[in-house]
Structures are given as C-alpha cells and as structure tokens.
Amino acid sequence: MEVSKPIIYEVDYAKESLNHLEEKIQTKGKKEQKVMLSYPTVYIVNDKKTPSKYSVYIGETNDIKRRTIEHLKEIRDDWQELSNSDQAKMFVIGHEHFNKSLTLDIENRLMQYLSSVEAVENLNNRRTNPQNDYYTSEELGSIFSEIWKKLQRKNKELFPLERIIRDSAIFKASPFHKLTREQMNAREDIILKVTEALNRNREGQLIIVEGEAGSGKTVLMSSLFYELNQLSLDDSENIVLKDTSQYLLVNHDQQLKVYEQIASKLGILSKRNPDVVSKPTKFINNHSEDEKVDIVIVDEAHLLWTQGKQSYRGQNQLEDLLKRAKVVVAVLDRNQILSREQYWDEQDMMETILEANLRNNYIHLENQLRINADKETVNWIRNLIDNGAIENIPVDSKNYAIEIFDDPGEMYKEIQKKAKNEESGISRILATFDWAYIDKKKPENEDYWNVKIGDWQLPWNLQLPQTRQEKRKNRNRAWAEQAQTIGEVGSTFTIQGFDLNYAAVIIGPSVKYRNGRIVFDKAASKNKKAIQNRAGKDGEKLDVSDFLLKNELNVLLTRGVNGLYIYAVDDELRKALNEAKKEKV
C-alpha cells in the first residue's frame, strides 16, 4: 500500500528547543504546519546514558509543545532524569493520516520494537494502547515501517533493521503485541478473577490457562503480567490492585532470560525487587506460607516439578506455590511435559483441571498462532504427533513448507541457506535427544558431544566456543538468537517456548514407524529425564517414557512458523514420510 511519508523532527529535549521547533514549522507550508501543530503526533524522548545504552520514553499527544512542557515539570523519577540530562533528544513524528487511534497504535508498536532493542536499557511508559478496528487501521503497518526507516537513518543504534528486531526472543514475548480477541478476552477474564479473589480475601485460588504449542500463551502471560503491574502502579484510588505483590515464574533457563530482560527494561525488575521474575524453586525457598504474596503467574507451568529434585525439597511445586500466593495463574500444555520430574498422574491432572473448571477458573486457548499454515497442514502435523499417523502431505495455500529429506547433511545445507536469507529470519536445526550429551563434561577423544548420522555430525547446543566479546553480547540472548548456533543442533532444552522461521528436525532412532503407526523406543533415547522410571503415588515405579518421548517430538515439530524440514533416522519412518510427500495433492 502506497502511503505518504512521515514528517520527523529531532530536537534537544528542552523548552527552548520546542520554541525553536514551533518557529521552524511555522516557516513550512500550510500542510506541514497542520500535520505537526494541529494533528496528533507521536514523540520519542531518548537519553544516551552510556556509549551504547539509552533510556527512552514514548508518548502521543494532541499538543506536542504543551505536553513536553508538562513532562519537563514532572516530579516522577524517570521524567526528572530525562529533564536533567543535557544529552536528551526528542523525535517528534507526524503524518497526514494520523488520528487518535492510529497514533495510539504507533505508540504501542514503538513500545514493542524499542523494548526489543539491545541498546535500550530503560523504556518508560505506563500503558498499553493497542486499538481495535478504525478508519485508517489497515495503514498501520506501512506507515509504521516508513517511520521506522526514517528513524533508522537518523540513529541506527537506537533503531536497527526491523527484521533484526522481529527475530528477537524479546520481541516475540513482548507484552505490547496486539492480542487476538481470544487472548484479549482471556486476559480481561483473568484480571477480573484476580481482582475478585483479592477483594474477597480468597486464598489458594488456582486459575489454569491451557493451550497447545503456538496458541499464544507466552504473549498472553507477558501482557497479563505487565498489565497487572500497571494497574498496581496506577495513581487512581479506584484501582483495586494498587500495591499488590506480583511475581512471574518459569522453570526454563532460556525463557527466564527473556522475561528478566523485559521486566528490567520496563522497570518492573529492580534492585528493590530483584526476584519478581525467577524460577519456582527460588521463589518457594525465599517465601514462607505465613506471608503470602498476592499474585503468582507461572508460564510453562507444565515444567513445574511433581517430585523433589536438587535444591527443591518439596513434592509438588504447584501445591507449594498455592500455599505461598493468594492467586496462582498457571499456563500449561500437558503435551509439553518433558521429564519425569514434571510428570503428572493423569487422574491428578484431570481432577485439578476439573476443580478449576467448577470454580469457573479454567480457560482454554483454541487458536493456533505460531504455524503460518492452512488448517489442513496444522492437522497433518498434529495427526502425526497425537495419533502417530502419516497421511499425505497437503498443498498449503499459505506456502508453509513441509519438506522430507533423505540425508541430514542436505537438510542442514538448506537450513543454513534459510538462516542466511535476511527475509527468512532465524532458522535452526533441532533433534530428538538420541545422542549422548553430558553438560559441563567433555567426551573422550572428541571436542564436542555430537549428533552423528553416518559420516555427518554436528555439535549439540551450547558447546561452540565464543570470544569474550561474543559471550558478553550473547549473555542475555536465547540459544537460537546467537549467531554461532547455526553450527549446532538444538534440543527441547534450548528451543522449548520459542519459535523459528524454519525448523529442521532430525527425528532420531527413538522414534520408529511400525505397522502403520509411529512408536517410541526408549532404548534408543539418551534422554534420561524421559526414559528413567519415576515413583508413583503409592511408591510404585512408573514407565512414562512413551508419553514423554511423544511430547519431545511435539515440541520439536511445532517450532517452525513458515516451514518444517524433517529427516528421520529410522528407515521405515523415512520411507513413510517420503511416500506421504510423493502423494502430495
């Protein structure tokens, strides 16, 4: 869609500069005067705190001069810091199609993008403003891209390429995503339930949100956490969540990094509140049952432990969280439980879900948001995982690519091409955990723990050496975001909870095809967390390997947004997949 160019001015963040800006605009044509002085505008105040770190505030206003003067007089800490800086700058952005709704959407998207920029250390704004449909809403994407390109020409460090931002794990988990109607309803429903529980002094309240991989659970939880924090900080006396204590927990190292960065940039995580984002064990060990916190949100709640392990001395982390919080919001997908420590007895899980349902505290997300494909393609993937059936691969009108390979080396070459292609974004190779890998220990006579198939091999994840500079750069990056990881094979331990543009999956020897169905062979798996027995409720030994190995396959095959490449080690499985490809209709 062809749109007119935005008008952007950059000035020092000071009252005198605003006067000069107004005088300068008055010398322009009537159209530009109208756009900048009569129409609503968006502004970005930025202060370069160190050679590579910025503090940023984003806003929109109907009167840029009046609003800036108000900010300069603000006594709030973040505004005083900007006002006192002699390096602070301000971009003022106008467009001839700007109306109130469009400027609010531009403001929200700038929050989403700039919170994902590595150079931004602090992002100050206390609201999310995604708008519903309105007159010029279909122009949002094209106008925003023109604004971003123009800003990038002025400051490449603060405004990097759009594709770099959109590939980042922070962007994908941002609380500023425009929620779907289903996600919006779920968030408002949860806030209502939390508010009611706290107002009525109800304790031990469990709200369960369930959805398959790619149903938008992480974005929903990120948005919920941010919104609850904003309600808590709101100055209005009518806000019932004012001064509540809230925590976000996740039992996954890679996802924890992402949430910590988001919370830090948005001022939620601070020295005064250092464990607002943490792992469940740390939270349980640091909080007593006698002093309950108000709200705990658990993302990836299927990763909570249901038996003691290492520093955790309890028997069930969810039960321990319910003893330490008035309200627990648990977001889970039972098909992503990956280890014996996380395994729920089926009856216990169903009883927990049923009880939440009876209390009207159960929400199920139906829509698939990750996989950009036709329903028939999504069903093909789900049928393979859920039922072990391999049907003909459908032709996808959205061009979602399902490709079957006879050679892992060829598949790796193709995923390398995708990774180099700027339009394709982050693409990586993954595998079922069927080759040995012992963390923090080197294999004998080899440099790395490798995934080996015939003459082809590649190191498992998180092993390739990095320079000191690379380590510093990658410290807060998820595995797939690190450049060197194109030379590694990812596992469920590094990719769960994230998505890739294209995912190349090596289905190892633990997954076989016999008598027209996929079966699992735990003897061929190296994943001790999945194949070792665990104790049942009565102390009996339980073999839950089939359940856990199927979930491992589920996590890997649902990572790709635009494509899924598959190589199967098992001859019969590879043959069945190739036949499904040949019969493509």
Q: What is the pLDDT of residues 152-164, one digit of tens each?
A: 999 999 999 998 8
Whether 176 maps to a domain, the answer reads: no
Q: Is residue 41 a contact partner of residue 60, using CB atoms and an 8 Å limit?
A: yes
Count of alpha carbons within 13 Å of 368, Cβ hemisphere only? Answer: 17
Indicate the pLDDT class of residue 233, thresholds 50, 70 and 90: low
Measured distance CA(321)–CA(285) in Å, rounded: 10
Helix (H, G, I), strand (E, B) or coil at 33: helix
Measured distance CA(558)–CA(376) in Å, rounded: 15
pLDDT at 4: 87
Measured distance CA(296)–CA(287) in Å, rounded: 12
Whether 167 maps to a domain, the answer reads: no
Q: What is the CATH number of the domain that holds 61?
A: 3.40.1440.10
Q: Is residue 492 a contact partner of residue 529, using CB atoms and an 8 Å limit?
A: no
Percent of the chain, pLDDT > 90?
Answer: 64
Report angle CA 378, 383, 384 to the nearest 5 degrees: 100
Let me know whether 358 and 381 are in one domain.
no
Indicate the pLDDT class of residue 236, thresholds 50, 70 and 90: very low
Judging by beta carbons within 10 Å of its beta carbon (0-12, 13-18, 19+), is residue 433 exposed, middle or buried? Answer: buried
Count of domains forming the chain: 3
**pLDDT for 238 beyond 60:** no
For the entire predicted model, the pTM comes to: 0.87
Range of 55-64, 353-362, 363-372, 572-581 with top mean pLDDT: 572-581
DSSP string, 489-521: EE-HHHHTT--EEEEEEEE-TTEEEETTEEEE-
**pLDDT for 473 beyond 90:** no
DSSP state of 389: -
Q: What is the CATH number of the domain that holds 188?
A: 3.40.50.300
Let me know whether 263 and 318 are in one domain.
yes
Measured distance CA(47)–CA(286) in Å, rounded: 36
Let me know whether 408 and 292 are in one domain.
no
**pLDDT for 413 beyond 90:** yes
Whether 12 maps to a domain, the answer reads: yes
> How do residues 174-224 score in pLDDT, each as one tens digit?
999 989 999 999 999 999 999 999 988 888 899 999 998 889 999 999 999
Let me know whether 403 and 541 are in one domain.
yes
State which residues form the domain around 281: 181-365
Let me know whether 117 and 61 are in one domain.
yes
Measured distance CA(563)–CA(561) in Å, rounded: 6
Listed in sequence order, the residues at least 6 apart from 228 whose beta carbon sits closer than 8 Å to its beta carbon are 191, 194, 241, 244, 246, 295, 297
Measured distance CA(45)–CA(82) in Å, rounded: 8
Angle between helices 140-154 and 100-114 (to 10 degrees): 50
Let me know whether 528 and 443 are in one domain.
yes
Q: What is the signed CA dihedral for 170, 173, 177, 183, rounded to 10 degrees?
A: 180
Residue that is last in its domain, among 131, 160, 189: 160
Let me know whether 150 and 88 are in one domain.
yes
pLDDT at 305: 86
Residue that is last in its domain, among 340, 365, 390: 365
Going from the C-alpha of 458 to that of each of 430, 444, 446, the distances in angstroms are 11, 16, 12
Going from the C-alpha of 463 to that of each of 36, 251, 443, 458, the distances in angstroms are 53, 22, 12, 11
Residue 44: what are its φ and ψ, rounded to 5°?
Answer: -130, 115
Tally Cβ neighbours within 10 Å of residue 239: 15
Let me know whether 443 and 540 are in one domain.
yes
Residue that is last in its domain, among 365, 393, 426: 365
pLDDT at 306: 85
Q: Is residue 220 a contact partner of residue 365, using CB atoms and an 8 Å limit?
A: yes
**pLDDT for 534 beyond 70:** yes
Whether 172 maps to a domain, the answer reads: no
**pLDDT for 585 beyond 50:** no
Q: What is the largest CA-CA distance in the chain?
A: 84
Whether 173 maps to a domain, the answer reads: no
Q: Name residue, tokens 């924890």.
A: 256
Let me know whether 468 and 402 are in one domain.
yes
